[in-house]
């Protein structure tokens, strides 16, 4: 059963293989320079068919070759007639002995149908342009790839500034572009980046190069990189030798073509491509790369037959386009010419070069000596440069490597005013000279075309003086034109960023050195050179000390608000409990009889509150004390509580008012008030400074930076002034300057620990020859103690305010400290007056109310008396009538009680109600009753005793 399955599987596999539509015969074309190369090409194809690693079973390779014609037109016709007509899948092309256009003709002709072309000797950079040579690859690198080796040589010899000389053709410009790209892409080590001081371009076919050489001689760089043809190189070397620019102190590194010049001087370094003329080796590598690509493509892609007729202008051969991509991806590790690989343009990479040094044994004979090699290291899987420096002879027949630059002895130095490092004093018109301690430092205002005279002194100025003596240079000092350290910003509405301030002057080569408190940071170090730090420092925060004066309620500070509330509540709770204990106790005054007239009144709630406050405030209690034992026990406990509270308050009050020391408002950069943008706290730094760059660089400080960015100042002096007047709450700046300001002014203080630690360094141009000298001098200053002496002289001065002694002395209390207590007394007085006014108003209201009640009561009594009087009169009249009706004629007496306090005159018109009954009647109306005697009046105003 297993055997049957095996046969079935093998049969299906064979059927599938037989049905593979890809061709099994491939024809490879060759356009070679000589018959020997043609025979070698055929031998390689024959041997290839027996190599099962590259050629699968059933596949056969054939060759069709023609000899390269110097005439490009005939070459193109021969390609159509002999190669394309035989359906070639790829073409290997060499270079003619004379003429340069024939390989291009092959590329144009085959490129029309996208038939891949593999060059084995053409190195022109024009073949890298895939818009023109769409299907061209090559096993040799273009001339422009020599820039990679140049960069490695400069890196090895530590040359940082060069002058680049090249012809204005395609290869020269391509070499310059690749050199600039490669030299600036070395990001691992900023120190090895190469700066091109100047680029000298010339037209091919030189007759004289003297004028350009004179300009080069005035530059600092003494390392010359040159690309030129053999004939142009002879002119350049001739004129350079006449100007002594091929002698000691100069270094020349040239390309392969220039190395072939007849008059190439001693000490020149050049490159030579390994196997550059070994056409057989390149033929073998190109055929095996092509076979590897066809094998891989045959397994995964559909391969159609190649074009057959050049007259057919139909569709593009898509298989050729795909085959080009497969060839470009191939890597031949052990080729005859080394590792064979291609870049995106189809150019050979990882090519090996020999480093050649011209060493003349005799005056008339030159000798090319191999002093190094640039090769592919299989272990590290990268290109590697090996140089034997001992075998190199430099210009002037010296074995010591030239410095590569001309060191200027007079330097243009810039500085900036920053106390205590640089003090700048402006000279008046009548003042002409600076003091011996000062250095003239004019300020050039380019916008107004003015120059102001200044004199500078300070820490950095003493350092500059000693530095010039140490390493022997002269200098011209000037202040920063715009008064800024420098910021990397977009200027003049352009898309390119530029440096301003001191850094901009150095980058623009308008200055040679910066001697100022210049912070070393990555942003600046990318564009300028720094010495080792001459002073180490960090970043800190400057703020104004909180006021030592107490507030109006400072006497309440010993206790917290919660404790004050508890004390206030306790007073009234204790008073209430005292009242209740004395009220319900059997031995209280409420329960005992008042047998003694001198006994005090019982303890009411008001007296209890008065007692509780009196004990707490330690005032004498003359009345209203509790009588019961239980209330007195509570009173004693309350007295103990009051003693502890008063003692604690007194002790803490002394600490708060007398020994109170102000503290900083901030704890450091991590203070929540700085990080929280909602807090009403203004902080700032100087625009474009190193501190500003530090905040932009730190992601965790981005929110804080966005808040403070709008508040940043142009100079540190303005910011410090605003801190002193309270306009700015926190100024973030270099610790050296802020600690100096805090020592000078006791009202200022630095908050928190240092952060963003760095150092001050001397700035120089990138690749400056003075960099190492300045660094060594500064290190020597540190070891000798000179830097410490500068610290003592300028930063740790003897006239610093004695802030620490002042802080340790106790405060003297004044009205400002105790104003709250006096205001409390005044509030008590005002409160008492207010209460007495309220009491008087209340009493007056009560009196009016009592008068109204008394009048009402009197009116009621009066009404009641009237009612009783009328009742009595009616009874008297009724009695008189009964007597008259019974015949009794006797005089009677009626007693009336009349209000004599408010007498009223009674007249017939005005009388009491019902008094008509007592009016005197006429005799005829008396009904026979005896008339009243004449002497009795009918009406009398006084009726207290009226006799009728």
Query: Which residue positions form the known binding site for L-glutamate?
Result: 517, 519, 524, 734
Cα separation, 212 vs 795, in Å, equals 51
Half-sphere exposure of 898 (CA within 13 A, CB side): 19
Strands 136-138 and 161-167: unpaired
Q: For residue 562, how far is the Cα from the chain centroid? A: 42
Angle at 107 between CA 106 and CA 108, to 5 degrees: 95
Q: How many CB atoms lie within 10 A of CB 132?
A: 13
Which strand (E) or helix (H) includes residue 756?
strand 748-765
Query: Nearest 5°: phi and psi at 891?
Result: -65, 145
For β-strands 25-32 and 88-93, DSSP reports them as parallel
**How many other C-beta atoms lie within 10 A of the C-beta of residue 317?**
19
Residue indicated by tokens 């090699």? 373
Burial 108-120 (b: 16+ CB within 10 A, else e): bbbbbbbbbbbbb
Asked whether 575 and 615 are in contact (CB, 8 A), the reply is: no
Q: Residue ranges for the binding site?
A: 517, 519, 524, 734
- Residue 605's Cβ-count burial label (10 Å; 0-12, 13-18, 19+) is middle
Q: Which ranges constitute the DSSP H helices of 243-375?
A: 256-259, 279-300, 318-329
Q: How far apart are CA 304 and CA 672, in angstroms?
A: 73
d(CA 250, CA 394): 8
Q: Which string of DSSP letters, residue by residue, matches 480-528?
A: -TTS----EEE-TT-SSEEE-HHHHHHHTTS-SEEEEEEE--HHHHTTE
CA separation for the pair 678, 644 (Å, rounded): 43
Q: What are phi and psi of 913, to 5 degrees?
A: -65, 135
Tokens 């006429």 belong to 922
Judged on CB neighbours under 10 Å (0-12, 13-18, 19+), 70 is middle
The DSSP 8-state label assigned to residue 810 in this structure reads: P
User: How many Å apart are CA 163 and CA 209, to the nearest integer?
Assistant: 15
Q: Shortest CA distance to 458 belongs to which of 437, 434, 479?
A: 437
Residue 102, CA distances (Å) to 74, 78, 97, 557 in order: 9, 11, 10, 100
- E strand or H helix at 43: helix 35-48
Give the strand pairing for 893-895 and 945-947: antiparallel
* Look-up of token digits 């530029």: 498
Nearest Cα to Cα of residue 191 among 526, 508, 493: 526
Rg (CA), the chain: 59
* Alpha-carbon span 207 to 471, nearest angstrom: 43
Give the integer Cα–Cα distance in Å for 704 and 691: 13
Helix/strand/coil for 532: coil
- Quote the CA–CA distance of 120 and 32 in Å, as a whole number: 9
Strand order in the sheet with 348-349: 332-335, 338-342, 348-349
How many CB atoms neighbour CB 396 within 10 A?
16
DSSP state for residue 795 in the 8-state scheme? I
The answer to whether 266 touches 397, Cβ cutoff 8 Å, is yes
Residue recorded with tokens 């009728």: 948
């Amino acid at each position: 059963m297993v055997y049957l399955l095996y046969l079935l599987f093998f049969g299906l596999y064979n059927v599938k293989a037989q049905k593979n539509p890809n061709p099994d015969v491939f024809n490879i074309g060759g356009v070679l320079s000589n018959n020997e190369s043609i025979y070698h090409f055929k031998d390689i194809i024959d041997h290839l068919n027996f190599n099962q690693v590259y050629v699968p079973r059933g596949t056969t390779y054939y060759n069709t070759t023609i000899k390269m014609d110097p005439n490009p037109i005939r070459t193109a016709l021969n390609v159509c007639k002999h190669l394309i007509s035989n359906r070639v899948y790829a073409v290997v092309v060499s270079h003619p002995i004379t003429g340069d256009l024939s390989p291009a003709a092959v590329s144009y002709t085959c490129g029309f149908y996208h038939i891949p072309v593999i060059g084995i000797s053409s190195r022109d950079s024009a073949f890298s342009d895939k818009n023109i040579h769409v299907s061209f690859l090559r096993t040799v690198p273009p001339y422009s790839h020599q820039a990679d080796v140049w960069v490695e040589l400069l890196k090895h010899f530590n040359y940082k500034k060069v002058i680049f000389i090249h012809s204005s053709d395609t290869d020269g410009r391509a070499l310059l572009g690749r050199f600039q790209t490669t030299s600036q892409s070395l990001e691992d080590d900023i120190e090895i980046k190469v700066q091109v001081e100047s680029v000298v371009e010339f037209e091919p076919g030189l007759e004289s190069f003297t004028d350009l050489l004179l300009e080069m001689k005035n530059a600092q760089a003494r390392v010359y990189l040159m690309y030129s043809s053999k004939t142009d190189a002879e002119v350049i070397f001739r004129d350079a030798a006449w100007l002594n620019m091929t002698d000691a102190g100069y270094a020349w590194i040239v390309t392969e073509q220039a190395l072939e010049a007849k008059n190439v001087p001693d000490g020149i370094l050049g490159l030579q491509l390994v196997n550059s003329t070994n056409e057989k080796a390149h033929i073998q590598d190109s055929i095996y790369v092509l076979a590897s690509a066809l094998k891989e493509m045959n397994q995964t892609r559909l391969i159609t037959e190649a074009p057959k007729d050049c007259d057919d202008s139909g569709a593009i051969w898509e298989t050729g386009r795909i085959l080009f991509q497969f060839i470009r991806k191939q890597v031949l590790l052990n080729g005859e010419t080394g590792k064979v690989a291609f870049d995106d343009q189809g150019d050979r990479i990882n090519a090996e070069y020999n480093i050649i040094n011209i060493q003349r044994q005799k005056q008339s004979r030159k000798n090319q000596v191999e002093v190094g090699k640039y090769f592919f290291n299989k272990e590290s899987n990268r290109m590697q440069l090996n140089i034997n420096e001992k075998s190199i002879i430099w210009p002037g027949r010296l074995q010591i490597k030239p410095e590569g630059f001309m060191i200027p002895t007079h330097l243009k130095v810039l500085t900036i005013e920053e106390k205590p490092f640089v003090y700048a004093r402006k000279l008046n018109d009548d003042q002409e000279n600076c003091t011996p301690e000062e250095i003239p430092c004019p300020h050039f205002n380019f916008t107004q075309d003015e120059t102001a005279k200044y004199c500078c002194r300070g820490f950095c100025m003493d350092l500059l003086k000693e530095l010039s003596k140490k390493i022997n240079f002269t200098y011209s000092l000037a202040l920063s034109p715009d008064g800024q350290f420098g910021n990397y910003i977009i200027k003049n509405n352009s898309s390119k960023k530029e440096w301003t301030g001191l850094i901009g002057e150095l980058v623009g080569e308008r200055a040679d050195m910066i001697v100022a408190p210049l912070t070393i940071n990555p942003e600046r170090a990318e564009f300028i050179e720094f010495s080792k730090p001459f002073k180490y420092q960090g970043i800190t925060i400057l703020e104004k000390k909180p006021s030592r004066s107490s507030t109006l309620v400072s006497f309440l500070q010993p206790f917290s608000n919660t404790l004050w509330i508890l004390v206030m509540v306790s007073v009234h709770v204790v008073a209430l409990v005292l009242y209740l204990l004395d009220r319900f106790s059997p031995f209280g005054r409420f329960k005992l009889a008042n047998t003694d007239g001198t006994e005090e009144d019982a303890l009411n709630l008001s007296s209890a509150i008065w007692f509780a406050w009196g004990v707490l405030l330690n005032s004498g209690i003359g009345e209203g004390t509790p009588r019961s034992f239980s209330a007195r026990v509570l009173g004693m406990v309350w007295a103990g509580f009051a003693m502890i509270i008063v003692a604690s308050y007194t002790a803490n009050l002394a600490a708060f008012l007398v020994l109170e020391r102000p503290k900083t408002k901030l704890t450091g950069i991590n203070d929540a008030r700085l990080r929280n943008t909602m807090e009403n706290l203004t902080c700032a730094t100087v625009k474009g400074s190193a501190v500003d760059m530090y905040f932009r660089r730190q992601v965790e400080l981005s929110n804080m930076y966005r808040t403070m960015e709008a508040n940043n100042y142009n100079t540190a002096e303005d910011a410090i002034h605003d801190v002193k007047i309270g306009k700015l709450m926190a100024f973030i700046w270099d610790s050296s300057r802020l600690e100096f300001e805090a020592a000078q002014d006791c009202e200022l203080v630095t908050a928190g620990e240092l952060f963003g630690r760095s150092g001050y360094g001397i700035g120089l141009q990138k690749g400056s020859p003075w960099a190492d000298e300045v660094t060594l001098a500064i290190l020597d200053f540190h070891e000798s103690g000179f830097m410490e002496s500068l610290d003592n002289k300028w930063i740790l001065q003897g006239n610093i305010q004695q802030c620490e002694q002042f802080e340790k002395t106790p405060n003297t209390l004044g009205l400002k400290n105790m104003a709250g207590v006096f205001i409390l007394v005044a509030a008590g007085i005002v409160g008492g007056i207010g209460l007495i006014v309220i009491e008087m108003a209340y009493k007056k209201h009560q009196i009016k109310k009592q008068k109204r009640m008394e009048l009402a009561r009197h009116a009621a009594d009066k009404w009641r008396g009237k009612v009783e009087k009328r009742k009595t009169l009616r009874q008297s009249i009724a009695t008189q009538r009964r007597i008259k009706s019974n015949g009794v004629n006797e005089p009677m007496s009626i007693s009336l009680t009349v209000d004599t306090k408010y007498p009223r005159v009674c007249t017939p018109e005005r009388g009491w109600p019902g008094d008509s009954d007592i009016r005197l009647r006429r005799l005829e109306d008396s009904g026979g009753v005896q008339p009243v005697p004449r002497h009795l009046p009918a009406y009398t105003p006084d009726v207290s005793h009226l006799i009728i």
